[in-house]
Amino acid sequence: MRPWIDTHLHLLYPQRLDYDWTKSLPVLDRAHVLEEYAGLAQPSGIRLALHMEADVRAQQMEAETDLIGQLARQPDSLIAGAISSCRPEHDEIGGFLERALSNPLIHGFRRVLHVVPDELSTSATFRRNVRALTGQGHPFDLCVLPGQFHLADALAKACPESQGERALNFFVDLYKSGAVPKGVPNYIWDDLGQGFASGNIALNLDWGGWAGFFNDPKNSRIAGNVGIARAPRGSSGKRTGWAGSHGFSITKACDNPKAAASLVMTLTSLDAQMIEARNGMMPTRMDAQKQAAGEFTKKGDKYMLEVFQTFAKGMAEDAFTPPLIPEWIEASNAIWPELQKALIGEKTGKQALDDAANKVLAIMQDAGRVR
């Protein structure tokens, strides 16, 4: 059975919270608890769920989140996160905003609009606070009646730039400013590394393999004047990071599998990785990382020691893999040409992202991963 994630789970705990809207709906005016839901969901293949706020009273919004957090911490709980209630129409939401955005349980926000006056979502205060709530990448859910679609459309247009658009438009602005030559929407790794070593680029987001090269006066103008830090946090509060290495494989058609295996064992041995580590390359073996750091410490090479410590921390805490599915390469090849069209002005950022998303959706549908 295919596993599923329920992205819109409502739970009701009337003994803990007030749900005024259920009073006129007898079928709902009772407890609907996690245990009851799990008994129905798990046989259907649901393995995880996001709890959607259930329109409790305004003064109980954070109490609802606390309750869902308690349920999420139970052993084998299905709850993976929560969409929190909010009141963007209030003038002062700073305290709520700070607490909510720092809570890892909260993955987004929702305000029901179908039971409040239409003008609520049109105020400057409401729209300013929605922009603040979504400023770190959290989505904002709307609950409207069919006759209120114009309100949802107006609100979306008043908060126009998604996090994806904001990130893409950052690079569009760099391209327009002349930071790269016209007609060159991308570089290969050697171009980036040589550009940084020339001293004409102040910041280079790259992997650790270039570290020794950048600090070598024979090859780099910035030798002795280069530092290293973990990748900065994005709007979601998360860092990105590089990790992993080139892989080796032995095919079924290999004429001499034993010799091939011996070669792989040699290339991935501690001695082989130490040769690379001493030349500034970041080894993937943890024992090689530890041994190399010890050698740099004894030599007093503070720069390379910092390189290894920084990248080791980044690989341990920040790095992630691309989606581990066969369709990833095809999807990646569909995404980048669209983004490059935005860079050179053939499409707006939104058009490029929408077109890329549609192409990836088609790939996932063809593969049977999305219905």
Residue 264 pLDDT class (50, 70, 90 cuts): very high
Confidence (pLDDT) at 136: 74
Alpha carbon 209 to chain centroid distance?
Answer: 24
**Mean local confidence (pLDDT), 79-89:** 96
Confidence (pLDDT) at 24: 93
Q: What is the overall mean pLDDT for the chain?
A: 89
Model pLDDT for residues 33-64, shown as the tens digit of each residue: 999 999 999 999 999 999 999 999 999 999 99
Q: 18 or 236, which is more confident?
A: 18
The answer, as to whether pTM is greater than 0.85, is no
Is 70 exceeded by the pLDDT of residue 236?
A: no
Is 90 exceeded by the pLDDT of residue 22?
A: yes
Model pLDDT for residues 309-330, shown as the tens digit of each residue: 888 888 888 888 888 899 999 9
**Mean local confidence (pLDDT), 111-115:** 93
What domains does the chain contain, in order, with CATH numbers?
4-160 (3.20.20.140), 161-190+322-371 (no CATH), 205-317 (no CATH)
Model pLDDT for residues 274-288, shown as the tens digit of each residue: 998 887 777 888 899
Confidence (pLDDT) at 235: 63
**Mean local confidence (pLDDT), 294-306:** 93
Q: Among 116-120, 236-240, 283-287, 349-353, where is mean pLDDT lowest?
A: 236-240
Residue 244 pLDDT class (50, 70, 90 cuts): low
